C-alpha cells in the first residue's frame, strides 16, 4: 500500500508555543488530506479535510484559528497547533488519498504540552 509519513513522531513543547506537524505522501500524489486527533482510550476524531490549493474544511467544534492547516502541494500538508495548551496534548494522525482510491494513514505524532 501507499506510504504516508509524519514528522515529528513526537514533540514536547511549553504552553503558549506553536507546533507544526508535517504529513507527506511518499509514493503518490494526494489531492485530499485529512487530520485526526485521538485522546487516550478513544477513537480517532476527524478534525479537518484539506484539498490541495484550497482552504481546509473543519469539522464542527474544531477551532480553525487554533489548528492551522496548509496543503501547499500534492504531497505535503501541515498542521500547526497555535498557542498550544496542555489540553491540546494528543495523538495527531494524518491521512491521504487520491480520488477513487483507498485512504492511507500516517504513523501519528504524539504531542505533549507542558
Partner 1 sequence: DAKTTQPPSMDCAEGRAANLPCNHSTISGNEYVYWYRQIHSQGPQYIIHGLKNNETNEMASLIITEDRKSSTLILPHATLRDTAVYYCIVRSYSSASKIIFGSGTRLSIRP
- Applying CB under 8 A, which of residues 69, 106, 111, 113 lies at the interface with partner 1? 106
Give least dist CB 84 to partner 1, A: 20
CB atoms under 10 Å from CB of 37, counted, come to 20
Task: Characterize the bridge pairing of strands 10-13 and 109-113.
Answer: parallel
When asked if residue 4 is in the footprint of partner 1 (CB under 8 A), the reply is yes
Nearest to 49 by CA among 82, 9, 20, 60: 60
Region near partner 1 per CB under 8 A, out of 14-22, 69-77, 82-90, 101-109: 101-109
When asked if residue 54 is in the footprint of partner 1 (CB under 8 A), the reply is no
When asked if residue 93 is in the footprint of partner 1 (CB under 8 A), the reply is yes
Q: How many CA atoms lie within 13 A of 59 on its CB side?
A: 10
Amino acid at each position: 500500500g501507499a506510504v504516508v509519513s509524519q514528522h515529528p513522531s513526537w514533540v514536547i513543547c511549553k504552553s503558549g508555543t506553536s507546533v507544526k506537524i508535517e504529513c507527506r505522501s511518499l509514493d503518490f500524489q494526494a489531492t485530499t488530506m485529512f487530520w485526526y486527533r485521538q485522546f487516550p482510550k478513544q477513537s480517532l476524531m476527524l478534525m479537518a479535510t484539506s484539498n490541495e490549493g484550497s482552504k481546509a474544511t473543519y469539522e464542527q467544534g474544531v477551532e480553525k484559528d487554533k489548528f492551522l492547516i496548509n496543503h501547499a502541494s500534492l504531497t505535503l500538508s501541515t498542521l500547526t497547533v497555535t498557542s498550544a495548551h496542555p489540553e491540546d496534548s494528543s495523538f495527531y494522525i494524518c491521512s491521504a488519498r487520491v480520488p477513487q482510491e483507498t485512504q492511507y494513514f500516517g504513523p501519528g505524532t504524539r504531542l505533549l504540552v507542558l
